[in-house]
Chain A
Amino acid sequence: MLPNAPNRLLTSVFISFTRTSRPLRVSTREPNFTEEYRNGVVNGRVAGAGAPAREDPLPEGLRRESMPRHVAVIMDGNRRWARARGLPAASGYEAGLRSLRGVVELCCRWGIRVLTVFAFSSDNWVRPKPNVGVSLTLLIDGCCFVLVGLSKLEVDFLMSLFARALRNEGIIPMFDLGALQAILLLNGNIAYNHDFHASNRRDIRVSLIGDSTKLPKALQKLIESVEETTKNNSRLHLVVAVSYSGQYDIVQACQSIALKVKDALIGPEDINEFLIEKELQTNCAQLSHPDLLIRTSGELRLSNFFLWQLAYTELFFAESHWPDFGEPDFIEALRSFRQRQRWYGGQDP
């Protein structure tokens, strides 16, 4: 079981998910959503009362033909948001989760097909110094990345995120994360909730990219269940990047290709961009290249997130921290995207 205080907090977060889509009322400042959303009313309909229409009308200034099909987000600033308010870091992650729910909802409503989220900075990936006690095998092979593991807060964030995905599928009713962890560790089976109404399903497919091997076993099982359960959903593909490094993704793709060359399936001269694309971890999504990348907190860099996939992606840097990133900020990013002229190095359009 989780320790008391974080356990109670996470339980309350999780239970809030099992009710309507109304944001949790806490004494912290809530994300900057429109008034209707805050009161649980979305587009004139009560949130969560039924699946929203397939394609909702877009806000002013946006056109369907100029909407990005794949949006990637670096959710930066949860801790700084909490620190600025004198709150513990857990509140920052909790608020970040609410923000994520909001953006997922908006993507569903506005017809965005793929949303990739990068939860944590690549602090988790370091290049070890030669005298640090790193596996000798790793150093000999020249692979210079070592995963140092996620903090407990980050693990809890992921547990909440994936547990909610299962709840959306009607797989689990209301119960707390501690019990969920216990069930997963004991027998890995999760009971199907027959009272769940199909109309509450969000039809979201959830996948994970990155390295999940260092995550707690319970979380790994949860992620597997979620990926399996949601694999046929088609409205929105939510790709969660956990311990993902853009450089490492390219290296592992090259290693797979090198093995094929070794087994004489292909020659070195046959290696091309298409082959590398197929081996990247992002090949799980139909649209693997984001059209738009949003990074919050005003940091002007990529931090080893997507690299290959960002070749022609429009970048948008938002000043607000992730917990404050709401509908108006998302609309601003989409408006900025609409104004971009993309000619991919060729003729002017």
Chain B
Amino acid sequence: MDKGSSSHETQRFGSFGSFLRRCIISILSTAPIPNHIAFIMDGNRRYCKRKNLMEGAGHRVGFLALMAMLRYCYELGVKCVTVYAFSIDNFKRRPEEVQSLMELMQEKIEGLIKEESIVNHYGIRVYFIGNLKLLSKPVRLAAEKAMVATASNSRAVLSICIAYTSTDEIVHAVQESCQEKWDEIRELNASGAGYGLIELDGNRREEGEHYIGVTDIEKHMYMAVVPDPDIIIRASGETRLSNFLLWQSAYCLLYSPSVLWPEIGFQHLVWAVLEFQRNYFYLKEKKKA
């Protein structure tokens, strides 16, 4: 009897919470809502130590927190969410820890494309952003499969940064841009049409200007599939970017609540959105393109 009544209590509390959340969302929606929010999910290991959990359990609780935050974001009407799941720097951790993280990610990625998952519920297209060649084969295959399975979803976007650092992304974009330019020139040369152009080009290029422009680089960024973030939220109170979205963060709001990632909640999202709304018109002027 007691068990039944306590679960009844929990259900009622849950419904009340959900109702309250919907009220707050409708108030927030009277002002502009950010289009793209990025999360740095920091603090899982510290949470694990603090709660004396088994090693690796912190990341599992962190995953539940991620699902909750995704739900809140999509309910709020945020179109794009990006999360920093695994950095190239994280490969420096102990091999057992890296291995258990890889296994967790593979398990969760495969869960994403199941029928009842949040991805299908909200019509989310999933991208895996980063140097996927650095991942082990099973994880890479699971990621590619998830991207294909959700390719037709169009209501929202979830970008999961895995094996990613911003400097690696920029290097990759530069390599691709250079490769593309030289391929173009080689094709023109082969067809005999290129020499005249190169001659003309050569004079202008003498000054060392503008052979590759910002649009070329941006086109080849892994993150070119989504617009720049409006807010970057880093949990655990550390105020640094840790090589995440350096290029894309030029004008975005940086918010670092001191809560550990597994403990993050709706109230932190509300605060970030309010701060965004406070600065909205000022930021809009800066970003005008």
Contact = CB atoms under 8 A, between A and B. Distances in A.
B239 A269 contact: no
Contacts of A316: 239
In this complex, the member of B87, B213, B215 whose beta carbon has the largest number of chain A beta carbons within 10 angstroms is: B213
A127 B205 CA distance: 23
B121 interface: no
Interface stretch (B21-29, B243-251, B262-270): B243-251
A317 interface: yes
A254 interface: yes
A243 to B, nearest CB: 15
B53 to A, nearest CB: 15
A311 B167 CA distance: 8
Interface string B258-289: 00000000000000000100010001001011
Interface stretch (B73-81, B88-96, B137-145): B88-96
Contacts of B90: 345-346
Given A312-B242, A346-B93, A259 B205 contact: yes
A143 B214 contact: yes
A141 B213 CA distance: 6
A49 to B, nearest CB: 39
B135 interface: no
A141 B246 contact: no
Nearest to A336: B239
Contacts of A344: 89, 92, 242
Nearest to A344: B89
B286 A258 contact: no
A60 interface: no
A126 B249 CA distance: 16
Given A310-B241, A345-B242, A257 B166 contact: no
Given A268-B178, A300-B275, A142 B250 contact: no
Interface in B209-244: 209-217, 238-243
B174 interface: yes
Interface in A127-145: 127, 129, 137-138, 141-145
Interface in B82-106: 87-90, 92-94
A195 interface: no
Contacts of A329: none
Nearest to B246: A307
Interface string B157-176: 00000000111101100110
B30 interface: no
A89 interface: no
A189 interface: no
B167 A308 contact: yes
B175 A271 contact: yes
Contact of B210 (A137, A257, A299, A314): A137
A25 interface: no
A142 B215 contact: yes
Interface in B47-91: 87-90
Nearest to B202: A262
Given A144-B214, A251-B214, A258 B254 contact: no
In this complex, the member of A246, A276, A299, A301 whose beta carbon has the largest number of chain B beta carbons within 10 angstroms is: A301
A348 B283 CA distance: 36
B210 A138 contact: yes
A255 B254 contact: no
Nearest to A259: B208
Contact of A308 (B93, B208, B246): B246
Contact of A304 (B250, B253, B275): B250
B228 to A, nearest CB: 11
A144 B215 contact: yes
A226 to B, nearest CB: 26
Interface string B175-203: 10111011000000000000000000000
A276 B174 contact: yes
B255 interface: yes
A258 B212 contact: yes
B286 A141 contact: no
Contacts of B170: 250, 276, 308
Given A254-B217, A255-B209, A311 B246 contact: yes
A259 B206 CA distance: 9
B205 A262 contact: yes
A290 B217 CA distance: 25
A142 B214 contact: yes
A246 B89 contact: no
A261 B182 CA distance: 9
B118 interface: no
Contacts of B286: 122-123, 303
A100 B215 CA distance: 36
A261 to B, nearest CB: 5
A276 B171 contact: yes
Given A144-B214, A259-B211, A301 B253 contact: yes
A29 interface: no
Contacts of B212: 142, 251, 254-255, 258
Contacts of A145: 214
B33 interface: no
A315 B246 CA distance: 13
B102 to A, nearest CB: 16
Given A255-B211, A311-B165, A316-B239, 15 more contacts: A127-B288, A141-B211, A142-B210, A247-B247, A251-B212, A251-B214, A257-B178, A258-B181, A259-B205, A271-B171, A312-B242, A315-B239, A345-B90, A345-B243, A348-B45
5 contacts: A271-B178, A301-B252, A302-B250, A342-B240, A344-B242
Closest 10 CB pairs of A and B: A345-B89, A142-B213, A141-B210, A346-B92, A304-B250, A142-B215, A311-B243, A268-B178, A315-B239, A143-B213
